[in-house]
Structure 1
């Protein structure tokens, strides 16, 4: 099958996915009980060295309301970028809504599912109660997964800083909206007319050696409440790509 037919078929699936997804992918209604703690940082934001590979994006995304999560939620990296509503359950000390956090790292404390940035942890507390909550160190919480929202942003492919033009390309997806996981990434190999799988290096980072020298078309597999679908980002990365630059996919997952 030629690239045009391949891409037409995949685009049709993507269009169907985009139409159906809002109706099928609804936020989880029930909360799951767990525990949370926090980590320190000079500015109370996230860390640029998290296990998801986001770099500076992982420090500042969502205003710094971010979290490292346990292995079960990290999902070997496919849980990176997921959003959760987290609220603590200490009477008279915790807010009703808690805080919305984005997963940017992997880490486990004392039987915790979440290690929050200090900024996020403080937002669990009622006004003037943050110091008391911090004094606990670890608190009982409940959480649920919710759709991520990035108004004004499409999904973007950032070329990881470790990439080396032209022989090694690593990409990380940022501004991943909706409530789904990216579980596979492939690029179109024009010379042999087929999709070539990228390796899941770690976290949200996917890489490949000897990428095509032309403009790169990517397709990625998403898994969520709507099932598993492929989406195609045509000409997603220019032929003369540069490490550290993020390229707009012109797509969004929700």
Structure 2
């Protein structure tokens, strides 16, 4: 028996509501639209001043990020949750914009701190959306670096990486900490869990700062597996990616990538 017109209309409304809250639907809309922000740069052409930073990454050249990076204002940085995410930017509405509408894709590797003593002068104060680029990336967008601050449009972009997701051990004999980097796809990391080869049980880790995760003890001397959930909700298990002989400072590459 066919449903009544009223039932069909109700089912259609429910379907539209489900679509509206679907993460996939939200992602598709967000990836298609441009949003307004501003951009400037810090450091020089060598990139020496953009190393390290609030995401916990070390030498950006060694880790594969290079100069294609940005610091994010407080509103965009989101207390480190945006670390590793990629953004496409284009200069928009300035006489300094490079001809042809050139765009760059950069990875969030640092934070641009707020200065609440200068609420009308600091572009990184919330709720402003601001990108503090490496100088080479800024020069791809503008004709002259003396432009200082320029209006831009931005949108999230997929991250392209070489090789698998990498794990750099940061802990010691009493506790385990790990830097998760070289993440493709969404780029940012929503959750991390660890499993020791002897314990055999998954334990959730907590974000310490940036993309450094910790909170698990008594795993020294065990091989480690990690379950990483990226910002788009996808999860990958890296089984036995870290050997029992690991020490702090060592980096290990997984066989998988998002």
Choose the corresponding residue for 1:33, options 36, 47, 51. Answer: 36
How far is 1:213 from its partner?
2.5
Tell me the residue number matched to 1:83.
86
How far is 1:204 from its partner?
0.5
SS in 2 for 1:100: strand
Q: Cα gap change, 1:197/1:58 in structure 2, threshold over 3 Å: closer, same or farther?
A: farther
- Report 1 or 2 for greater relative contact order, CA contacts < 8 Å, sequence distance ≥ 6: 1
SS in 1 for 2:66: helix
Choose the corresponding residue for 2:75, options 69, 72, 80. Answer: 72
Q: Cα gap change, 1:93/1:229 in structure 2, threshold over 3 Å: closer, same or farther?
A: closer
Higher CA-based Rg: 2
What is the distance in 2 between the residues matched to 1:39 and 1:71?
16
Tell me the residue number matched to 2:223.
215
Tell me the residue number matched to 1:251.
256
SS in 2 for 1:63: coil
Q: Cα gap change, 1:42/1:36 in structure 2, threshold over 3 Å: closer, same or farther?
A: closer
Tell me the residue number matched to 2:146.
135
* RMSD, aligned CA: 2.8
Tell me the residue number matched to 2:176.
169
What is the distance in 2 between the residues matched to 1:50 and 1:143?
22
Answer whether contact 1:47 1:58 (CA < 8 A) is retained.
Answer: no
Unaligned runs of 5+ in 2: 1-23, 114-121
Choose the corresponding residue for 2:131, options 108, 114, 125. Answer: 114
Tell me the residue number matched to 2:168.
158
How far is 1:159 from its partner?
1.7
Choose the corresponding residue for 1:202, options 193, 198, 209. Answer: 209
Structure 1 ranges of 4+ moved more than 4 A? 24-27, 189-193
User: Which has the higher mean CA deviation after the structures are superposed, 181-190 or 236-245?
Assistant: 181-190
Answer whether contact 1:34 1:113 (CA < 8 A) is retained.
Answer: yes
Question: What is the total number of aligned residue pairs between the two structures?
Answer: 220
What is the distance in 1 between the residues matched to 2:235 and 2:196?
17
What is the distance in 1 between the residues matched to 2:62 and 2:252?
19
Tell me the residue number matched to 1:94.
98
How far is 1:44 from its partner?
3.4
Unaligned runs of 5+ in 1: 1-21
Query: What are the superposed Cα offsets for residues 172-197 of structure 1, whole Å, 9 maximum, x if unpaired?
Result: 11211012531111112455542112
What is the distance in 2 between the residues matched to 1:215 and 1:190?
5
Answer whether contact 1:46 1:67 (CA < 8 A) is retained.
Answer: no
Answer whether contact 2:112 2:132 (CA < 8 A) is retained.
Answer: yes
Answer whether contact 1:45 1:65 (CA < 8 A) is retained.
Answer: no
